[in-house]
Structure 1
Amino acid sequence: MSETLLRTAQLSVRYGGVVANSGIDLTVGAGEIVGLIGPNGAGKTTFVDAVTGFTAATGEVTLEETRLDRLGPHRRRRAGLARTWQAGELFGDLTVEQNLAVALQRTGVRSLFTDILGRSAPPRDTIEAALELVGVPGSGARRPGELTLGQQKLVGVARALVGGSRVVLLDEPAAGLDTHESVEFGQHLRRVAASGIGVLLIDHDMQLVLDICARLYVLDFGVVIASGEPAVIREDPTVIAAYLGTAQPAGETE
């Protein structure tokens, strides 16, 4: 079994009287792709927001035995926990390299003065390594509009990975991709995981999720209703009723 990198324990989010996440226990191991699936409104993005510090939560978030739940988003990012966003469009007027360099910029007064004085330069080796890892090497000088949608999605993953991320949480990264592009995207994610990075994947593309994830967690109304290997999850009556809709023969998905 792979080393556990990310662990949440009893993670819960409340908005007034509404419970968006309730007592979620989840792990992601080194080199492992773990899926988080469920119907719209199940609380998947809220969970990612809570883990990465963008929404208030109770419970524990641990990365490589270090508690992160008392830290803000930028400190969690520097600790090695990164994410993408559903509306994760790249900056169209910046090059790919510049898009990734933005993710490496530290916040605060010191970094502001460094930028003003012109001493901040994009770490090109680090950026090119991230682009190479996701399968779009040599694209740093191009603008997002010059890339295919699939390549843009991969650059978005690279932007999350750049700077030494240990775990990356991907929120609907394959949205808008056709079947061929999705398969290719999954192949690149496998290479990311093979480097030792942990990946938590949220996506409605069930073919992608079932093909590349080692384990799945299923959320419904903010509660984990099932977890396990894809072959077990796809036959779980509770999951079928809540999300999949009908039992599916092996090799077929919605």
Structure 2
Amino acid sequence: MCIGMSNMAELHLHDVSVRFGGLQALAEVNFSLMPGEIVGLIGPNGAGKTTVFNVITGVYSASGGHVEYNGDKLTGLKPYQVLHKGIARTFQNIRLFQNMTALENVMVAQHSRSSCGVFGAIFRTRAQKIEEQRIKDRAMEELRFAELDEFADEVASSLPYGHQRRLEIARALASEPSTILLDEPAAGLNPAESAELMETISKISLRGINVLMVEHDMKVVMGICQRLVVLDHGVMIAKGNPEEIQKNPAVIEAYLGN
């Protein structure tokens, strides 16, 4: 599959609630992510943003409500099943295979789409060799997309921090998602690296891939997101375009005014 427009997808959260014992982590959260859209999920620390990601990707089960993707409920699915549905994610902390090359890191994600089984891998069948070359070629496409192809043979741990962030995104894209969840992708980046990240995310959207992004860097959020959803203590207090959110009194009090 060549890089291009992904299958259009819609993600909807319907009254999603999460409770951990006596703690209400999310309370009836409702919002949607439409095809090719970049939406920012913002709010103070502990607002429930990563919990939303974990519910969508099957790490946590919702105590109430449900997540719908392309008309199908994701309720009860395991993370690998959600990935096969077309939802990929990155994490707050870099989770690369540090002793593997950049190319190998991205190839790992392509193996989730591999059709060759254990027999082919053990006996190195012709079909398996063809598949392995396809996986390598696909991984290189994503490295070129992230402008990291010149570092394909470099060990991940040797790459600058900003490059490692983009490598994580390339790996997520290699799983061929129609939606990608980015958890604080600009964390730790300098202004030049943040600008490169914004360009990369814009290019992802142009491929028809939905982007839901948790981010604290307001320059990145306001500069790239079409819509914002704001959480505070697990409650959705506002949603709208960046201009509306910047003027919202509840958001200013809970988050932007800090």
TM-score > 0.5, shorter chain as reference: yes
Cα contact 2:102–2:154 (8 A) shared by 1: yes
Cα contact 2:88–2:172 (8 A) shared by 1: yes
1:115, distance to aligned residue in structure 2 (A): 4.7
Q: Counterpart of 1:99? A: 105
Deviations 1:147-206 (A, max 9, x none): 322221111011111121000001111110011211111111101111100000101111
- Per the alignment, in what secondary structure is the counterpart of residue 189 of structure 2? coil
Instruction: Determine if the alignment matches structure 1 residue 218 to structure 2 residue 230.
Output: yes
Paired letter, 1:164: E
How far apart, in 2, do the equivalents of 1:69 and 1:140 lie?
A: 37
Gaps of 5+ in 1: 247-254
- Per the alignment, in what secondary structure is the counterpart of residue 40 of structure 1? coil
Q: Counterpart of 1:52? A: 57
**TM-score in terms of structure 1 length:** 0.88
Matching of residues 36-75 of structure 1 within 5 Å: 36-57=41-62, 58-75=64-81
If each structure's helix is expressed as a fraction of its own residues, which one has the higher value?
Answer: 2
Paired letter, 2:254: A
How far apart, in 2, do the equivalents of 1:28 and 1:100 lie?
A: 26
Q: Counterpart of 1:12? A: 17
Deviations 1:17-36 (A, max 9, x none): 11101111121122111000
Cα contact 1:63–1:81 (8 A) shared by 2: no
Q: Counterpart of 1:121? A: 132
Instruction: Determine if the alignment matches structure 1 residue 31 to structure 2 residue 36.
Output: yes
The number of residue pairs the alignment matches comes to 242
Paired letter, 1:199: V
- Per the alignment, in what secondary structure is the counterpart of residue 36 of structure 2? coil
Identity of aligned residues (%): 39
Q: Counterpart of 1:170? A: 182
Name the structure, 1 or 2, with higher relative contact order (CA <8 Å, separation 6+). Answer: 2
**TM-score in terms of structure 2 length:** 0.87
Paired letter, 1:69: T
Which range is displaced more, 88-97 or 14-23? 88-97
Cα contact 1:104–1:162 (8 A) shared by 2: yes
1:106, distance to aligned residue in structure 2 (A): 4.3
How far apart, in 2, do the equivalents of 1:207 and 1:233 lie?
A: 14
Paired letter, 1:61: V
Q: Counterpart of 2:5? A: none
Cα contact 1:135–1:188 (8 A) shared by 2: no
Gaps of 5+ in 2: 1-7
- Per the alignment, in what secondary structure is the counterpart of residue 105 of structure 1? helix
Cα contact 1:12–1:59 (8 A) shared by 2: yes
How far apart, in 1, do the equivalents of 2:158 and 2:81 lie?
A: 33
Cα contact 2:88–2:175 (8 A) shared by 1: no
Paired letter, 1:133: F
How far apart, in 1, do the equivalents of 2:226 and 2:211 lie?
A: 10
Deviations 1:27-62 (A, max 9, x none): 112211100000000010111001100012132212
Cα contact 1:134–1:189 (8 A) shared by 2: no
Aligned Cα root-mean-square deviation (Å): 2.0
